[in-house]
Amino acid sequence: MNIEAVKAIYRAEMRRTRNTLLQSVAAPVISTALYFVVFGSAIGSRIESVDNVAYGAFIVPGLMMLSLLTQSISNASFGIFFPKFTGTIYEVMSAPISFFEILIGYVGAAATKSFILGVLILITATFFVDLRIAHPFWMIGFFLLTCVSFSLFGFIIGLWADNFEKLQLIPSLIITPLVFLGGSFYSVDMLPEFWQKISLLNPVLYLISGFRWSFFEVSDVSVGVSLSMILLFLFACMVIVWAMFKTGYKLKP
Amino acid sequence: MTESTPIISIKGLTKTYDNGHQALKGVDLDIREGEILALLGPNGAGKTTLISTICGLVSPSSGSVTVAGYDIIKDFRKTRELIGLVPQELTLGAFEKVGNTVAFSRGLFGKSPNNKFLEELLNELTLGDKKDSMVQQLSGGMKRRVLIAKALSHEPRILFLDEPTAGVDVELRKDMWNIVERLRQSGVTIILTTHYIEEAEEIADRVGVISGGELLELEEKTALMEKLGKKQLVVELKNSIDAIPAQLSDYGLELSANGTKVTYTFDARKERTGMTALLSDLSQAGLSIKDLNTAQSSLEDIFVDIVKADA
């Protein structure tokens, strides 16, 4: 195991975050604060509660997920896309380092950033609403799993994308709609029956539902199903990344 | 002469890219420890593909490569640790400091941090005062130095320089050859690709000529020049002549300097150079000789000859 290499990649990636602190940390925190103002205070004051949870608090897990998903993907995809774009990837590819170590370095750094971001959003939320966390261990578990699996997913997108447009394509066209329609701001019960069924096809719903359960013990689907879904997603991403490295996909002619 | 075990051994290496382009067509090459090997060839000859394959950037289609006895695929950790690569393009991350990017390279190749070593390295490459500069603010020559520093950051035993002097100023070129010389003295094996023949002529021990994905020649530099070199015999005449006498037409002589110089070009590869016969024929034709001079063709001429013959 080339520990030094993992450390080198991890440090370089974290340094990149520090250099772009405004963009990678301040921007998501500010936009989350805006969501609290608009949805939590302005609209929330007209909605009494959802499943006996104050609306302002109800949306916290969804908002966290919204940021975690989009930021994990954008951090990790950019982290590997940029060296590919500039050509500096040659160094990593010619180093005595295995695919698994490359993965730990890049995905580990992206997941760390997302985790820090999530904590910041959680702290921000406490300024606006009263929060209680019923199952802190489950909450941290979901939190970590989401950071890791979606950073991994972002890594795949970064490997796959060969231009900036493709890099933005999946996050903006697929992930954002899935998060918005996955019950970030509402309980699926509030939808007409037909749309409830459609919603069950949305993988992000399971994630938000499980995460929300760890806060308030209310959920759209059972927590076991949620956990299975995210583990399945993590596993699928691992298999894809493994296959990509095995075949040298877009990295090694 | 006893051959020591080669540090790099390439056997039957081929590479066909997905688009069907066959970049390497069965290359066999043994590189000796501690030598400077220049790979000469025109653009698209397969030089970079060959280097990239050894470094692990390109998967070979067939054949094998060992570095210090280890297979480059099975034992990639061991082989890559030994190798430093300076790529052809100025590929550097834009938003990084010089010191950081060099330290990054060292870590990537599995070496624990050593600030003292890296500082000396930067000083030697006259980058000492650029440690905290952002890479994108450097000039092209400085970026090239950073790439060299990165390649040397993990103290490799083998250094690949892919077109090291493309677009490089005279000073850096001189510096670079000083570094190469010092590295050679410390026992580092150096493989460089170039299409500047003077470069190969100046610093290499052996020269390999690559064209169309094949290694056409591999010789000691001096042997190659001797073996393939054309020589010219310039005969200065006492009295000028208007034309080459008819009985000398078989020699293909050229007349210059107002009819006072006769140049005879011959192939040093041939056993009979025809010099003796020419000289006696000259005197038989009634020409008296003032001076004689022979000159050897440069690697450049040799190179053009080989590649032409192959085409």
- How close is the nearest chain B Cα to the Cα of A97, in Å? 7
Assigned domain for A215 exists: yes
**CATH classification (class only), B230-310:** alpha beta
Residue B139: its H or E element: none
pLDDT in tens, B9-62: 999 999 999 888 899 998 999 999 999 999 988 888 888 999 999 998 998 999
Q: State yes or no: pLDDT of B161 exceeds 50.
A: yes
Q: How far off is chain B from A78, nearest CA to CA, in Å?
A: 13
Give the pLDDT confidence of A44-83 residue by residue, as tens digits: 777 777 777 888 888 888 888 888 888 899 889 988 898 8
CB-nearest partner of B91 from A8, A11, A90 = A90
The answer to whether position A157 is within a domain reads yes
Residues from B in contact with A at Cβ < 8 Å: 17-18, 55-59, 76-81, 83, 85, 87, 89, 91-96, 100, 103-112, 150
Q: Which chain A residues are closer than 8 Å to B103 by Cβ? A: 8
What is the predicted pLDDT for the residue at B1? 41
d(CA A76, CA A81): 8
Output the average pLDDT for chain A: 86
Compute the average pLDDT of residues A14-32.
80
Q: How far is CA A131 from the centre of its chain?
A: 21
Q: Is residue A253 in a domain?
A: no
Q: Is the pLDDT of residue B234 over 50?
A: yes
* ipTM of the modeled complex: 0.83
Domain membership of residue A69 (yes or no) is yes
In chain B, what residues touch A19 (CB-CB under 8 Å)?
A: 95
Q: Hey, of A4, A22, A80, A99, which one would you mutate to test binding to chain B, going by the most B CBs within 10 A of its CB? A: A4
What is the domain count for chain A?
Answer: 1
Domain ranges of chain B: 8-226, 230-310
pLDDT of residue B62: 92
Question: What are the residues whose beta carbons fall under 8 Å from the beta carbon of B200, sequence distance 6 or more?
Answer: B38, B40, B192, B194, B207, B221, B299
Question: What is the mean pLDDT of the segment spanning A72-100?
Answer: 89
Residue B81 and residue A90: Cβ atoms within 8 Å?
no
Q: Which of B18, B76, B106 sits opposite A96 (nearest CB)?
A: B76
Confidence of residue B8 (pLDDT cuts 50, 70, 90): very high
pLDDT for residue A10: 94
Structural domain boundaries enclosing A70: 3-247
Q: Over the stretch A29-42, which tens digit does the pLDDT of each residue have?
A: 888 888 888 877 77
Neighbours of B91 (CB within 10 A): 16
Q: Tally C-beta pairs within 8 A across A and B.
A: 83
| Per-residue confidence (pLDDT) for residue A200, from 0 to 100 | 83
Report CB contact under 8 Å: A2, B59: no
**Cα A236 to Cα A232: distance, rounded to the nearest angstrom:** 6
Give the amino acid at A217. Answer: E
Contact residues, chain A, for B147 at CB < 8 Å: none
Q: Which CATH class is domain B8-226?
A: alpha beta
Across A15-24, A157-166, B161-170, B226-235, least confident range: B226-235
Strands B36-40 and B189-194: parallel
- The H-assigned helical ranges of chain B are 47-55, 76-81, 98-108, 115-124, 140-152, 170-185, 197-203, 221-228, 275-284, 299-310
A47 contact B CB<8A: no
